[in-house]
Structure 1
Amino acid sequence: MMNMSSAAGSDQKDWNETYLSLFKYCLLLTRNKWDAEDLAQTAICRVLETYRELPGHLPQALYHKTASRLHIDFYRKQRRIVLERDIPDRSENHKETKIAELAEWLASVMTNKQAAVFVLKEALLFKNEEIADITGFTVATVKALLFRARQHTMQEGTAIIDQELASAISRSLNEEDPYPLITLLTAVPKSTSGPTARMAA
């Protein structure tokens, strides 16, 4: 019994050291505690899904390499979204077409809530607290939805597209107005004053 307890304690210590080292590495990459926690957890899940071994028995470098790859992939996706959002006005039709394509991709990989929160945060540049105010979610829920949405941005689009969601995303991006997306969320009733007024209230 003593030997088993000692072994269990050693494994727990090894795992704690592994996670602490990974978290510090992720913090260097993201420069943000919340994002570092998200990245570390995602890296751990990805490693365990791939190798299916006890965490403490895997080399530390494997976790770091996985986190680095996930971080790079995420910002490549983010750059794609920013570039689509900031298409020059040389062709309004071309811009609307590209936004529609982006909207369909987002609508194929995210739920209504994830897409609404993601677009508000990443495209319309609302703060988490402002998103919570206009959606009726808690800040913690907003962060959780953002985390899931960002994970989905690493996926390829599917043939199953929620056209109502895609249309709302397109309208919100083209009009730079969150209201089309907000109206899809059943937790938020329609208001004649609009979300901007609610946010300021």
Structure 2
Amino acid sequence: MNELNQKALMKYCLRITGDKWDAEDLAQDTILKLMEINRTDASHAYQKTVAKHKWIDQLRKRKRECFLAADNPAGGQTENMKAADEFEHLLKKLSNILTPKQLTIFLLKDVFSFQLHEIAETLDKPESSVKSLLFRSRQRLKGLSPDVLHRDAAEGDHEEHSRLLVQAIRFHNPDHLLEYAKKTWLPGASQPYCGSVMRCAA
């Protein structure tokens, strides 16, 4: 990428972040992503798309981190580990209650804050189907008695699937969730998180 393109990218990053340091980090992350996918010669419009999705992912990550911090403002390492273990336990219970397809869409929407059209694009499914599955998963959880989520989760036969779910949440990385989908109900996907060119570039 030549110097002129780098300056244009930096200007765009500064405009969407509103902060010099965030803009520099975003520009660097964008360039690294372009190098990773061999698109350093891409048009400025494409570079802006990559930067925009990178920034959206960063904002989502900060939102989840702020939520965890607010939930336990004085918590130390021990408390964080306890919370992580409890969340892992909850994920296992959810995987016993919802189908893999329902669970994937539920987590993408309610944990990773994806929009319905983004989920449809990522999974290469009709938005109407995504909306229907999300509704059914929420209704199924809403209809459970309160004690169900407090019972011990049944140990499943697929520890790798549980591991992918836990990694997705712990590392704020939906790639692991898409890998889970690929292994459980989306076998046609050649690699995770690649429902479209735009999403792969993010």
TM-score by length of 2: 0.49
Larger radius of gyration: 1
TM-score by length of 1: 0.49
Greater RCO structure (CA 8 Å; 6+ sep)? 2
